[in-house]
Amino acid sequence: MNSIRVLVVDDSAFLRRSLSRILETEPRIKVIGTAANGQEAVEMANSLRPDVITLDVLMPIMDGITALRHIVRDTNARVVMISSVTQEGAGQTIEALSLGAFDFIAKPSGPTSLDIGKVRSELIHKIITAYEGKTRRPVPGDVAAQKLKRIVSETSAVASAFPDRTTISGEWARNKKELIAIAASTGGPAALQVVLAGLPRDLPAGLVMVQHMSDGFTKALAERLDSVSPLEIKVCGTSEMIRPGVGLLAPTGSHLTVKRILGKLHAILSSEPALTLHRPSADILFRSVAEACGPSVCAVILTGMGNDGAEGMKEIRARGGTTIAQDEATSVVFGMPKAAIEKEGIQIVAPLENISEQILASLS
C-alpha cells in the first residue's frame, strides 16, 4: 500500500501535535502538514493534495463546515471530521456528513480532548477506510445529492414547503406493507436524507431506522432528517407504537426491535444482547422485523462498513418481505450492501437516488 498522505486541521496546537503523533504510529500513514484554521486548511488542501484530511468542526477565521465545502468542491481528499460532543458540535457534524464528509470521530472528553489517544484505533481505521474508497465520491455532486438539493436546498425551504406536514402525494392504493426498516453505517446520514426526502407525508407504513453512530449525535441526526423530510422523524423512546408517516431512529447504545402486541406493531428498545459489535444492530432490527411482519415489510440496507444486517435481510427475504440494497456506485462504503447481496438476502439493488421510488413501489 502507498503511504496515506494526511493533513491534520485543528485550532488547538496540542491536538495538532497529538493527532499527528497518533497517526504516525501507523506505518501506512504519513502526516504531510497541519493547519490551525479552515482558511489554512483550504489553502494546504489545494497545494499539498492530501489523500485524507482530519478536520475540526469549530475553528476561528474559517469554520470546519465552510472549509469542507471548499475542500469537497476543489479536491479529491476524503474528510474525517473531529467533533466535540456538544449540541453545536453534533449539529455541525451532521451537516458536515450531509455535505460530503466521509465520517467523524468524537473527541472523547469534549473540546480539550486531553485523552484523544483513546480514539487511536477508530481514527486510524477510518482514515485507512476513507483512503481505500476515495476514488468513489457519490456525495455531494452526484445525481442523488443534486436530487436532495432540489428537494431541500436549505432547511428554511423545507420548513416553508411543509409548514404543517400536510399530505403531498395524493391518494394511495391499498397498502400491502405496514413497515419500512432501514439500516446504514458510514455514509448513512447523507444517504438517509436522500431516501427520506423522497417519501411523502401520507406514507401508509411505519418507519424504523438503525444508523451506526457515536453517542451524543443521534438526536442531531434525527433533527436533521426531520428537517429534510415530509415525515415526522424522531429518536425512538423506550416503547412506542409504530404509526404511518412517523420515522423512529434507534438511539446509540440500544437495540431497536419490533414486536406485535395485540395486533399492533411496537418499537421496543433493549440493551440485550450486549455482546454485539454494534448497538443498535441492523441484524437485531431486521430479525425482529422478519418475525413480527413476515411479508408485510420493506427492508433497505444502505452504505456502510462491515456486514451488519446481512443475516437479517436474508431472513426477511425468506419470509416474503421486500429487500433493497444501495448499489456500489453510490455507496460511500459498499460493505453492508455487498454482504447482504452475497448472503442472497437482496431482491433489488438500486442507486441511492432511486431507493425511495423502490420503497414506494413495494407499498402498492
Interval 151-191: pLDDT, tens: 444 333 443 444 444 333 333 334 489 999 999 999 999 99
Catalytic residue among 103, 226, 283, 308: 308
Here the cell at position 220 is: 442531531
HSE-up (13 A, CA, CB side) for residue 255: 23
Per DSSP, the three-state class of 162 is coil
Least confidently predicted of 39-43, 114-118, 261-265: 114-118
Residue range 231-254: average pLDDT? 95
Residue 42 has pLDDT above 50, yes or no: yes
The C-alpha atoms of residue 235 and residue 90 are separated, in whole angstroms, by: 15
> What are the cell numbers at 354?
432511486
Cell of 203: 406514507
The confidence score (pLDDT) of residue 133 equals 74
Q: Say which range, 7-21, 74-88, 139-153, 318-332, has the weakest mean pLDDT.
A: 139-153
- Whole-angstrom Cα distance, residue 240 to residue 245? 14
Phi, psi of 269 (to 5 degrees): -90, 145
In a 10 Å sphere around its CB, with 0-12 CB exposed, 13-18 middle and 19+ buried, how is residue 81 labelled? buried
> What is the rounded distance in angstroms from the CA atom of residue 89 to the CA atom of residue 270?
28
Residue 364: the pLDDT is: 77
Q: Which of 83, 84, 185, 288 is catalytic?
A: 185
Q: Which CATH class is domain 4-132?
A: alpha beta
Mean pLDDT, range 214-233, rounded to an integer: 92
What is the average per-residue pLDDT within 25-42?
Answer: 96
Predicted local distance difference test score (pLDDT) of residue 162: 40
Active site residue 308: yes
Quick one: what percent of the chain has pLDDT higher than 70?
A: 85
Q: For residue 23, which amino acid is it? A: L
Q: Which three cell numbers stand for residue 44?
A: 494546504
Break the chain into its structural domains and give their ranges: 4-132, 143-363
> How far is 230 from 233, CA to CA, in rounded Å?
9
Residue 234 near residue 242, CB atoms below 8 Å: no
185 is catalytic: yes
pLDDT for position 132: 87
- pLDDT tens-digit readout, 69-95: 999 999 999 999 988 766 777 888 899
Taking the C-alpha atoms of residue 186 and residue 183, their distance in angstroms, rounded to an integer, is 11
Q: Which of 157, 165, 227 is nearest to 196 (CA)?
A: 227
Which CATH superfamily does the domain covering 143-363 fall into?
A: Methylesterase CheB, C-terminal domain (3.40.50.180)
The pLDDT tens digits for 243-265 are 999 999 999 999 999 999 999 99
Task: Specify the pLDDT at position 276.
Answer: 85
Task: Give me 102's grid cell.
Answer: 466521509
Query: Which grid cell sits at 182?
Result: 432501514
Domains 4-132 and 143-363 share a fold: yes
On the question of pLDDT at 362 being above 90, the answer is yes
Which residues pair with residue 183 across a beta bridge?
A: 210, 301
- How much is the pTM? 0.83
Q: Which of 56, 83, 113, 212 is catalytic?
A: 212
C-alpha–C-alpha distance, residues 38 and 253, integer Å: 33
98 assigned to active site: no
Position 135 pLDDT exceeds 90: no
Has residue 282 got a pLDDT over 80? yes
Q: What is the mean pLDDT of the chain?
A: 86
Whether the per-residue pLDDT at 104 is higher than 70: the answer is: yes
At which residue does the C-alpha cell 499539498 appear? 48
pLDDT on residue 112: 53
